Structure 1
Amino acid sequence: MLEIFLIIIFALIVIAVLWAISAYNGLVRLRNLVQEAWRQIDVELQRRHDLIPNLVETVKGYAGHEKSTLEEVTQARTIAAAPGSTPGQQAQQENVLTQALGRLFAVAEAYPDLKANQNFMELQRELTNTEDRVAAGRRFYNANVRTINTKVETFPTSIIANMFGFHREEYFEVEDQAARQAPNVQF
């Protein structure tokens, strides 16, 4: 009888250890997915940041007296391109840059020659494509963040997460309330 009891205890310990190893490996896999997704967003943001100086120079040729808007875009780009930001900080910096770019495009509306300039149109198209890729990357990143956050917070995986220092990850969210509202379209 004692042997059966010891075998059952041993089997339960083996099952618990195997579960703990599986839970740990699952958390590592999710953490790596989140980090990879962030790196992809970072690549697209860098592409965006690289396009902006060319856009500013093109606009400067047509609208040189709009100096404050051009400086604002340049400053926002410099801050957004600085390394070492968390996803939340990066989101705030990108929101500021997006607002500055919106003002730059509003300035461009006042210059028909600029709007018709092939270089400006191509830069604007590239920026739009990049924005779409950032949005897709953000969705992928946030989905992975949701998955790891769920694992970190739910029992029993939360035990392993706490033991090995896994924590909730930060979402990459648009915080600009104007960007969340549907545009007003009039015909």
Structure 2
Amino acid sequence: MKSGIKWLIGIVALVLIIIFVGVGFYNSLVTLEQDVDTAKANIDTQLQRRSDLIPNLVNTVQGYASQEKEIFTQIADARTQLAGATNVAEEATADRALSSALSRLLLIVENYPDLKSNQNFRDLSVQLEGTENRIAIARQDYNTAVTRYNTTRRRFPNNIIAGLFNFEPRTLFEASSGAQEVPTVDFNR
């Protein structure tokens, strides 16, 4: 009888240890998943900041370059696409479209020296540049959090807990196509 109780106590102790270890793995996955969600929200915040700055920038440029209607339409379409994005892949695609349209807008500005000297335009340009830097940092933070989460999720025995509780892998925020190419800068215009 005494050896039966010892076995029962041993089995109960082993089960409790397994449960506590499993809870620890589960909690670490929850924490990492929350880090990913927070980093994603930070990207969204910076994209919203940029989206809020763009109408002011566009209005300033329109006063000087009203004939450049196509670029203004492209910017508006890209902002709409970004606002309607429902996942990271759609958001990245919309962000690429908006960044491309903004780049074209800034190229148009080169043809209007009076616009470049306009204080409102310069202030908006500085704010936009700062926002672009914040977006880049937020993307790096997001990708770091996703990598940490995905790595932890795949490790044994976390992969068992992740499978049991449906911790799905997350996708990285990838660079736009052509980002590896060096841009051409021409100061002779």
Q: 1:73-128, CA deviations, whole angstroms, 9 ceiling, x for partnerless residues?
A: 1211121123x521121011000100000100010001111111111111111011
Q: CA deviation at 1:151?
A: 1.7
In the aligned structure 2, how far is the partner of 1:99 from the partner of 1:113?
24
In the aligned structure 1, how far is the partner of 2:77 from the partner of 2:184?
29
2:36 aligns with: 34
- Corresponding letter in the other structure for 1:117: N
2:59 aligns with: 57
In the aligned structure 1, how far is the partner of 2:106 from the partner of 2:13?
67
1:167 aligns with: 168
- Corresponding letter in the other structure for 1:102: S
Alignment of 1:110-121 (within 5 A): 110-121=111-122
In the aligned structure 1, how far is the partner of 2:115 from the partner of 2:169?
46
Alignment of 1:25-174 (within 5 A): 25-82=27-84, 84-174=85-175
1:182 aligns with: 182
In the aligned structure 1, how far is the partner of 2:145 from the partner of 2:99?
25
Q: TM-score, normalised by structure 2?
A: 0.91
Identity of counterpart residues, as a percentage?
42
CA-atom RMSD in angstroms: 1.7
Q: CA deviation at 1:69?
A: 1.3
In the aligned structure 1, how far is the partner of 2:17 from the partner of 2:41?
36
The SS at the match of 2:174 is coil
2:14 aligns with: 12
The SS at the match of 1:180 is coil
Structure 2: tracts of 5 or more residues without a match: none
Structure 1: tracts of 5 or more residues without a match: none
Q: 1:51-78, CA deviations, whole angstroms, 9 ceiling, x for partnerless residues?
A: 1111111110001111111111121112
In the aligned structure 1, how far is the partner of 2:186 from the partner of 2:103?
19
Q: Decide which moves more: 92-101 or 10-19.
A: 10-19
In the aligned structure 2, how far is the partner of 1:118 from the partner of 1:176?
33
- Corresponding letter in the other structure for 2:96: N
The SS at the match of 2:145 is helix
